[in-house]
Amino acid sequence: MIIVKSPRELDKMRRAGALVHEVMDDITRRVEPGVTTGELDAIAESRIREAGATPAFKGYRGFPATVCASIDQEVVHGIPGPRRLREGELLSLDLGAVVEGYYGDMAVTVPVGEVPESSRALLRAGRKALEAGIEKMHPGARLSDISHAVQQTAEGAGYAVVRDYAGHGIGREMHEAPQILNYGLPGRGPILKPGMVFAIEPMVNAGGYAVETLSDGWTVVTADGELSVHFEHTVAVTAEGHEVFTDPGRRGCR
Ligand code: MG
């Protein structure tokens, strides 16, 4: 069952999204060659705690950090550490926070210094795939319209979407129903209603869609070693269309 949030709940989720956005903005500005992912993680954690909020990922099923930091062929769930970023890499950062019991969740992939045009093209496609999914968030749309739009956009640009991980409902829990696949036929699944809130999060691969998990039990990598990018926003369906909680002030009409 998809939970429809009350205006009071939506307001808390708006605050959670705004905090995640603010902290993500801070740490992405610090991304440059020589910085470690552990440093970025420490900054994110202290900023979230200073705001009186709680990191959403730390301790979740035993995950040891506040952000997931995934480099190049790492898709999601990379563990931050002493590894220094190098010029030309792609860094995917995923961040969640809990404000007054409600979750915000966001991911973005950023270039480390100068990256090749092929990497920039992949970044553009990942961003576009997320945007295409968000565009389908309006009352009356069907859930799989989001999935289809994401897939069409990523594959239309010549890339693949990861199938083993999906977007999700979000609210009092980080992962609520429904699961939002990043592929599929349109016109299926529940009809979207105002007050539903989803984390839409395509992972777009330069090569094939297959992924595997490293022996640390967390880090997911592309099976073929090709690059991957990850973009995510927490988005509410509104009467007019949608509101992007992790990009404060951004609303869209159907
Ligand atoms: Mg998520």
Residue 7, pLDDT > 90, answer yes
Q: Give mean pLDDT, residues 213-242.
A: 98
- The distance of Cα 74 from the centroid of its chain, to the nearest Å, equals 14
Distance 36 CA to ligand 1 centre (A): 23
Please state, in angstroms and rounded to a whole number, the distance separating the CA atoms of residues 237 and 191. 11
Residue 77's pLDDT is 98
CB count within 10 Å of CB 31 equals 18
Please state, in angstroms and rounded to a whole number, the distance separating the CA atoms of residues 141 and 214. 37
Distance 88 CA to ligand 1 centre (A): 26
Residue 145's pLDDT is 98
Residue 76's pLDDT is 98
> For the chain, how far is it from start to end, CA to CA, in angstroms?
24
Examine residue 49 and state whether it is found in any structural domain, yes or no. Answer: yes
Distance 112 CA to ligand 1 centre (A): 23
Mean pLDDT of the chain: 98
Domain of 240, in residue numbers: 7-253
Residue in 186, 166, 185, 184 with CA at minimum distance from that of residue 176: 166
Examine residue 84 and state whether it is found in any structural domain, yes or no. Answer: yes
**CATH value at residue 45:** 3.90.230.10
Residue 155's pLDDT is 98
Contact (Cβ atoms closer than 8 angstroms) between residue 246 and residue 104: yes
Take residue 78 and report the two structure tokens written for it: 């990379």
Split at pLDDT 50, 70, 90, the class of 254 is confident
Take residue 23 and report the two structure tokens written for it: 């902290």
Examine residue 229 and state whether it is found in any structural domain, yes or no. Answer: yes
Distance 254 CA to ligand 1 centre (A): 24
Please state, in angstroms and rounded to a whole number, the distance separating the CA atoms of residues 210 and 147. 18
Residue 239, pLDDT > 80, answer yes
The tens digit of pLDDT for each residue in 71-99 reads 999 999 999 999 999 999 999 999 999 99
Residue in 12, 59, 69, 236 with CA at minimum distance from that of residue 139: 236
Q: Give mean pLDDT, residues 30-37.
A: 98
Residue with structure tokens 């007050």? Answer: 195
Residue 29's pLDDT is 98
Residue 40, pLDDT > 90, answer yes
Please state, in angstroms and rounded to a whole number, the distance separating the CA atoms of residues 162 and 156. 15
Q: Which residues contact 215 (CB under 8 A, 6 or more apart)?
A: none
Examine residue 1 and state whether it is found in any structural domain, yes or no. Answer: no
Please state, in angstroms and rounded to a whole number, the distance separating the CA atoms of residues 157 and 212. 23
Split at pLDDT 50, 70, 90, the class of 253 is confident
Distance 104 CA to ligand 1 centre (A): 9
Q: What backbone torsions phi and psi does residue 92 show, to the nearest 5 degrees?
A: -95, 125
Please state, in angstroms and rounded to a whole number, the distance separating the CA atoms of residues 199 and 130. 10
Reduce the DSSP state of residue 112 to 3 states and report it.
coil
Residue 212, pLDDT > 80, answer yes
User: Per the structure, how many domains does the chain have?
Assistant: 1
Examine residue 2 and state whether it is found in any structural domain, yes or no. Answer: no
Residue 115, pLDDT > 80, answer yes
Distance 105 CA to ligand 1 centre (A): 5
Residue type, 207: G
Residue 217, pLDDT > 80, answer yes
Distance 93 CA to ligand 1 centre (A): 11
Q: Give mean pLDDT, residues 9-30.
A: 98
Contact (Cβ atoms closer than 8 angstroms) between residue 93 and residue 75: no
Write out the H or E segment, with its range, that includes residue 151: helix 143-156
CB count within 10 Å of CB 223 equals 14
Q: Which residues contact 22 (CB under 8 A, 6 or more apart)?
A: 47
